[in-house]
């Protein structure tokens, strides 16, 4: 399964753990393919850097470097009108459409846009449930 993680999921997972942290763990366990665009990667970096100023003991650079190095880069898609109530969230929906991915977010504006061009938006908890229900792929021996 391919997924686009909203910035809040990435940041919460890195800095605070909880369910977003479990989503990141699922990625490290190779249970889904992370996709992102240059605009999304830039937002991840800027937001983590801002938060790190308030939490100097938490190292985020290595985790972000791993995510960006091992995720799948998708070209930024041109805007063709608004998708969500917050235009800054539209990049996640456009990236998901281009990648054939779901969006993982707790953001109300994104959740309300679920179904746009068949793009599904799942909360982090619902995404983890979906991953648990997905048939596992046989390991090569």
Assess if residue 139 is contained within a domain: no
Average pLDDT (90-118) is 96
Average pLDDT (35-43) is 96
95 compared with 49, residue with greater pLDDT? 95
pLDDT at 139: 44
pTM value > 0.85: yes
Range of the domain at 39: 2-133
Assess if residue 138 is contained within a domain: no
Assess if residue 39 is contained within a domain: yes
Cβ contact 104:5 at 8 Å: yes
For residue 34, list its beta bridge partners. Answer: 3
Using only the alpha carbons of the chain, give its radius of gyration.
Answer: 15
Domain count of the chain?
A: 1
pLDDT at 102: 98
């Amino acid at each position: 399964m391919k997924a686009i993680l909203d910035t809040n999921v990435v940041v919460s997972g890195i800095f605070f753990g909880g369910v977003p942290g479990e989503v990141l763990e699922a990625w490290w366990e190779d249970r889904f393919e992370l996709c992102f665009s240059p605009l999304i990667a830039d937002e991840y970096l800027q937001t983590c850097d801002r938060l790190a100023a308030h939490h100097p003991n938490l190292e985020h650079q290595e985790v972000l470097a791993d995510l960006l190095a091992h995720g799948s880069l998708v070209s930024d898609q041109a805007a063709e009108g608004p998708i969500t109530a917050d235009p800054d969230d539209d990049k996640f929906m456009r990236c998901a459409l281009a990648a054939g991915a779901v969006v993982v977010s707790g953001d109300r504006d994104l959740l309300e846009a679920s179904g746009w061009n068949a793009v599904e938006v799942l909360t982090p908890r619902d995404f983890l449930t979906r991953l648990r229900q997905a048939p596992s792929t046989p390991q090569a021996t």
